[in-house]
Structure 1
Amino acid sequence: MQRIAARTAWTIAGLLLLFVLIQGFVWHAAYRGAVGLSGDPTAIERLTGPRGSIVALFAHMVTGALVTTLSVIQLAGPIRRRWPRLHRNSGRLLAVAALLTGIGGLVYIARSGTVGGTDMSAAFGLYGVLMIIAAIQTPRLAMHRDYDRHRRWGLRLIILGLGSWFYRLHYGLWFGITCSLGDATCGMGVQSDFSGLFDRIQVWAFYLPYLLVLEWWLRRRPQPVRR
């Protein structure tokens, strides 16, 4: 009993820490997206393309901030067990926000491309498609009471929901490591037009490795008996 209580306490502490860590990204994305939707030209910076695609991208930022926040909440087992209604309602909101986030990102890529070129467009496009699929599958399986597959798709959606934060986290860690070694290595492999080696790796590394690890973990877990 004490072991279970200790594990629960550590889980809650870890989730609280994760929630605090994502706040910088969440508020930056939400604020910049809201400023862009208000029509403030200072939010555009290097964004190019038709106004409709830029509006879609700003909406993508706002809903993406919500997706990142709700992903941590959905990951909290104690909330799911103690307040199942909150879990269900926040899960529905997460699915809708993730669907809108994926669509907004794909609209911008299709109409304006990305600053990083073909590699970034392909990687971000696949990321958006996977998020849309997960956003549809997760609630669909819950409505069909297929809770094992619902949980699997929910975990995939959570990983994708945290992907944008992982992307920024990787850059922060990379600059922290390379700059601590000296000025000559600071930001090695990173270019302003995202053409550096680290940039090209990053566009895939912020979500695919995490999904692969999740799939490996899911396949190692005992499968429930179907009746």
Structure 2
Amino acid sequence: MPRRAALVILGLLALPFVLYSAGFGLRGLTADLSEDTRFFTTPLPNALIFTHMATGALATCLAPLQLIERIRIRRPRAHRVLGYVTLGAATITGICGLGYIALKGTIGGTLMSAGFALYGALLLLAAANTAYHALDKDRARHRRWALRLTVLALGSFLYRLHYWVWYAATGGAGSNAAFTGPFDLFNFAGFYLPYLAALELWLRQERR
């Protein structure tokens, strides 16, 4: 019950981000947003970044659902189907994000590009291993990689959540529009690496 309640709360917190990201991504793929956002430039970067947003929203929404025991145990077929959709969305998100960084970079420069590129690479690694161990029927490894994938799938939401909480608490100290402040520099990788580290510690303790 506590785990289910935590997933429900997490889903409610992430829902506004999911709806915004999905809507913005789909609009960017179907309409001219040149007057609305700096992301709208030329056809290939546009396709990459707005697909990244749309599929990223889907992965953020679906990944936590895969942790619900009732679906996983009582509805194994639904778990598999949703799993493949989640893996597909995460893979497309990672590829498109890396492609956009290669073409356009990021607003925060080299350090931000490096942090986000590592995030995209880890997302692809987690998706590939989650799929491989599922096909290999190794449930223990599949579960561990699926948990890593879930943490990473929530990364874009956590990135923004950090800013919401930080600005509410400090008024934006250590952050600026150029993303060169101390908090900005921390958040280039702080939205996923600490959570992955905490998960690894928990998994190691669980194995002991």
Q: Which amino acid in 1 is paired with 2:80?
A: R
User: Where does the alignment leave 5 or more consecutive residues of structure 2 unmatched?
Assistant: none
Aligned residues: 208
> What is the aligned partner in structure 2 of residue 66 from structure 1?
58
Any residues of structure 2 matched to 1:85-104 within 5 Å, and which? 85-104=77-96
Q: Per-residue deviation at 1:158?
A: 0.4
Q: For residue 206 of structure 2, what is the aligned residue in structure 1?
A: 221
Q: What is the CA–CA distance in structure 2 between the aligned matches of 1:48 and 1:19, rounded to whole Å?
A: 29
Matched, 1:17 2:17: no
Q: Which amino acid aligns with 1:173?
A: V
> How has the CA–CA distance of structure 1 residues 161 and 70 changed in structure 2, closer, same or farther, with 3 Å as cutoff?
same
SS at match of 2:207: coil
- Structure 2 CA distance for partners of 1:149 and 1:158, relative to 1, 3 Å: same
| 1:4 corresponds to | none
Aligned twin of 2:192 = 207
Aligned equivalent of 1:109, options 92, 101, 105: 101
> Which of 149, 156, 168 lines up with 1:164 in the alignment?
156
> Match of 2:178, as an amino acid?
D
Identity among equivalent positions (%) equals 46
Separation in structure 2 between the aligned mates of residue 49 and residue 35 of structure 1, nearest angstrom: 14
Alignment of 1:133-172 (within 5 A): 133-172=125-164
Deviates more, 1:69-78 or 1:111-120: 69-78
The SS at the match of 2:65 is helix
Deviation above 4 Å: which 4+ runs of structure 1? none
Q: How many Å apart are 1:20 and its aligned residue? A: 1.1
Aligned to 1:192: 177
SS of alignment partner, residue 172 of structure 2: coil
Unmatched segments (≥5 aa) in structure 1? 1-8, 179-185
Deviations 1:5-52 (A, max 9, x none): xxxx22222211211111100011001101100132257612276420
Post-superposition CA distance 1:107-164 (Å, at most 9, x none):
1000000011001100000000010111111011111111111111111000000011
